[in-house]
Structure 1
Amino acid sequence: MKPREILYEKLRHLVVEDPREARRLFHQLLDSGGPALDQFLGSISSPSDGRLRQLVANAPRNHRDRERLIPHLIAWQESETDEFTQRAISHTLDALDVRSNAQTALALEVARLTTSIGREMAQRERLNRELEIAQEVQAHLFPQYLPPVAALDYCGQCRPAREIGGDYYDFLELPEGRLGIAIGDVSGKGIGAALLMASLEASLRAQAAVRHELVDLIKQVSRLVCEASSTNRYATLFYAEYDPRSLQLSYVNAGHNPPIVLRHSATACEVMRLETGGPVVGLLRHSYQQGGFLLRTGDQIVLFTDGISESMNVHDEEWGENRLIECVKNCRGLSAHETIARILAATDAFSAGASQHDDMTLVVLRVLV
């Protein structure tokens, strides 16, 4: 163990078994001063160290000792729960004539401010660590594996505006080589949105495993999200199932930005939207309609959240869906991964340094030959 740890363990036992020896040993440390004293005093902050804090509070022999211990005594006084230790601390601090000693009064104020700043910094560090953990957990909620699908190139990406976000996308491996495709946008931001996003994912995956009718599936997902969230929380959701044998894409659009289908010919590019469905999930019980779309070789399908289309520049101008469509047209022949990279690069170039105000999520599919 380090010398500081050895001293801590020795005093921790002596203060119970031989208080006089503990007091003598601490006086030696107090007389030596320096970093060793501050390190020791800074280490006895847990509730189990009450006896050690009481030893320190009773240790001052003179005004100099009291002034040396002021910052630590003040820090402990505001959080101490042991009655006897609290009394010992108060008695030592009361012995300082702060009314007549301006220097001591200044030292007390500095100590109070230092303690307050220290608590604030410690709290921020804890919150930052908790956000880092939440970010790591949420990152693993997004697909870690892309089920292989015959003649289909696809991928997705989410870029949160904050440490954690409320956008959602997922790929589900279904029987007979089919693929489930989901994208959603939860209302609000931060921890609340992230929790609802996790609930949405869990509900959709659970229902997709047992239900085959998409309308019934989305209706049940909406009910589950409604029961798991407050009345003002909801989510837009687009869910589709793709059958590579027939090239059929069956879907329900629950209030989400209609995905774009681009179909190229020798002379033109036809743009179609997948709009059929119903309202957002999680607010009220609604009925939904199922849409169907027969894909062809070479079709590009782009699913996106409004963080993409509503990306803004420094002049508060939106990028817009028209620019998105033109960008995708220029991605003909590129892989799904390259297409996503090209779209994000285009939005970044448009925003030209403006801060990202919303989560940005994309899913791109290409029907191969």
Structure 2
Amino acid sequence: MLDIPHRVRVHVDALLAAQIDMGVCDAQARNAPVGKSAAMSAPRLPKVAGIDSTVPGPAHTAGPLPDDVVAPSPPGALIQDRLAGWVSDLTTLHELIDRLVRTATLDDALAELLRAGSALVGARRGMAVLEPADGLGPATTVGLGLAHADLGSIETVPRSATSYGRILDGLPDPGAHPDLLAEAGLDPRHREVAARLGYAASYALPLDGQGSAATGESGTAGRLGAVVWLYDEPAEPDERRRHLIGHYVTYAAAHLARLVELQRARAQIATVTEELLPSRLPRVPGVQLAARHRTHPRGGGDWYDALPLPEGALGLAVGSVSGSGPSALAAMGRLRASLRAYAVMEGEDPVAVLSDLELLLRLTEPARTATALFAYAEPGLRKLVLAGAGHTPPLIVGERRTEYVETSLSAPLGMLSCWEAPSVEFAPEPGETVLLYTDGLLRRTGDPMDRAFARLHAAAASVPKADREDPGAVADHVLRTMLPEELDRPVEGEDVVLLAARFD
């Protein structure tokens, strides 16, 4: 909050009482219109029998004010003006901080910081450099009113010659450079870049994660980076603007610290997830494979697998483990590894593979459920035998047909007393793609399941003819059609897995 100086902390009630205690005549004199004569302002009695009843004004009545004299301000007007200014500043600061905390990504938060800061300090351009002191990243540079070439030119200046560079190096710096071109001892390279880009002054502040402790929030401790605003003319913010921008940057640093921790956690989860999934898909004659996986930011349990089997066969599997977070990731890794072992031993019988997986899950993790689908494919014969446990049916995408494979219904793994669903055998035509997927693709649409299945069927049927020869293009088209607004963002609610196999 803004600190009110002690010298202006007065009792407003005392001021009002002082005004009430003033004499009535004195109050009338102060409120008398300027420029009117005393005769016009004095009270008059009615005329009687032609006698002028004008009486002279009382001796204590003030006379007219000269035209060149301004009436003094009422007592307390200066205090009220200052209080109004502080209330206005607090309102502005609250609105800007509220807009900042609504940002959910680092880039958006840095852009909002630059926009709000430019309004507070009165600058048109700026640059924010995120470079955490612990070296764990992420590191990025965001500009306001600066093109990529401009940012590159600024980065050619030695760090020790710029105010924000000294902050990044942990050196003390006043932050304000009101006239760069006239500043003595300025690095010639800095002066040259400033003249070329057309800025004549700068004001920089550190982004310190320690500020989160002052605001009662947790976050990355230590220096996060620096922010600098550039003026077109020699200038610097006054004391009031410095006070406002200082408070704003303190809260901004705490918010950025939380976003840095969140991005680091997401990056770690993505790394672990990628390590638990196949690093590359096998190359088996007669079939082309492609996979798309978009994981939950906190780590989901959806997975896929493709492994070569003896005699030129191929095992295809997709599945989903209940829950999210590190425990779901660990369970997913164990389930996938177990299925690979069972597939190598008895892959020709998908029912036996899933039966073994059901028994393992029920014995080792009785509180967890999972869905799975395993297909034993013989590409040379274009034949697939598959079985599913509580999983969504595959989808065949071809030039002449787009249809779901009719599979037997079964409960998920971990909920079966005995195996109930037999396997299903079908033969795709040459050039057709079999699409295996998890239910996250359907749930992310927000539609009821029957409508989501219809949307998926329509998306697969609308794949352009030129893209049908590439299973990766088929998967990308389905993703773009089903989730157009989430293609380039992390999935917030469900994992999405697509495994496409095109048969020659």
Asked if TM exceeds 0.5, the reply is: yes
Distance 1:114 1:322, change over 3 A: closer
For residues 193-229 of structure 1, the C-alpha deviation after alignment (integer angstroms, 9 at most, x for no partner) is 2122111101101111222432221111111122232
Give 1:274 shift: 4.0
Q: Does the aligned pair in 1 maintain the 2:390–2:410 contact within 8 Å?
A: yes
Secondary structure, counterpart of 1:140 in structure 2:
helix
The equivalent of 1:135 in structure 2 is 270
Partner of 1:243: 378
CA spacing shift, 1:162–1:234, aligned 2, 3 Å: same
Aligned partner of 2:404 in structure 1 is 272
2:432 paired residue number: 299
- CA 257–117 in structure 1, closer or farther in 2 if over 3 Å, else same: same
Paired residue type of 1:365 = A
Aligned pair 1:253/2:394, yes or no? no
Instruction: Decide which of 357, 363, 368 is 2:493's aligned counterpart.
Output: 357
Question: 1:89 is matched with which residue?
Answer: none
Higher mean displacement: 126-135 or 162-171? 126-135
Tell whether the 8 Å contact from 1:279 to 1:286 is kept in structure 2 after alignment: no
Shift of 1:151: 2.2
Highest RCO, 1 vs 2 (Cα 8 Å, sep ≥ 6): 1
| SS of match in other structure, 2:288 | strand
Aligned 8 A contact 1:235 1:282 in 2: yes
Q: How far apart are residue 277 of structure 1 and its match?
A: 6.1
Aligned-residue CA RMSD (Å) = 3.2
Cα distance change, pair 130–276 in 1 and its aligned pair in 2 (3 A)? same
Question: Which residue in 2 is equivalent to 1:153?
Answer: 288
Matched, 1:281 2:413: yes
TM-aligned CA distance change 1:164 to 1:324, over 3 Å: same
The 3-state SS of whatever aligns with 2:422 is coil
User: What amino acid does structure 2 have at the position aligned with 1:312?
Assistant: T
Gaps in structure 1 of 5+ consecutive residues: 1-38, 40-110
Quote how far apart the aligned CAs of 1:358 are.
1.0
Distance 1:150 1:292, change over 3 A: same
Instruction: Answer yes or no: is the 8 Å Cα contact 1:312–1:351 preserved in 2.
Output: no
Distance across 1 between alignment mates of 2:263 and 2:460: 37
Aligned to 1:228: 364
Give the 3-state SS of the residue equivalent to 2:385 in structure 1.
Answer: strand
Choose the corresponding residue for 2:325, options 190, 196, 202.
190
TM-superposed deviation, 1:348: 2.7
How many residue pairs get aligned? The number is: 253
Amino acid at match of 1:286: C
Q: 1:118 Cα shift?
A: 7.9
1:110-167 deviation digits (Å, cap 9, x = unpaired): x9x9489586646978887566434312212222222212221221111013242111
Partner of 2:352: 216
Q: 1:282 to 1:134 in 2, by over 3 A?
A: same
Aligned pairs for 1:106-117 (under 5 A) are: 114=213, 117=216
Counterpart CA distance in 2 for 1:289 and 1:136 is 37
CA separation in 1, counterparts of 2:378 and 2:435?
17
The letter of the residue matching 2:313 is R
The alpha-carbon deviation at position 349 of structure 1 amounts to: 2.3
Deviation digits for residues 43-84 of structure 1 (CA, Å, limit 9, x no counterpart): xxxxxxxxxxxxxxxxxxxxxxxxxxxxxxxxxxxxxxxxxx
In structure 1, how many angstroms separate the alpha carbons of the residues matched to 2:374 and 2:488? 33
User: Contact (CA 8 Å) 1:149, 1:177: kept in 2 or not?
Assistant: yes
- TM-score (norm: length of structure 1): 0.60
SS across alignment from 1:148: coil
> What is the 5 A alignment of 1:42-121?
114=213, 117=216, 121=220
Question: Equivalent residue for 1:311?
Answer: 444
Residue 177, structure 1, aligned to residue 312, structure 2: yes
Greater share of helix residues, 1 or 2? 1
Unaligned runs of 5+ in 2: 1-169, 171-209, 222-256
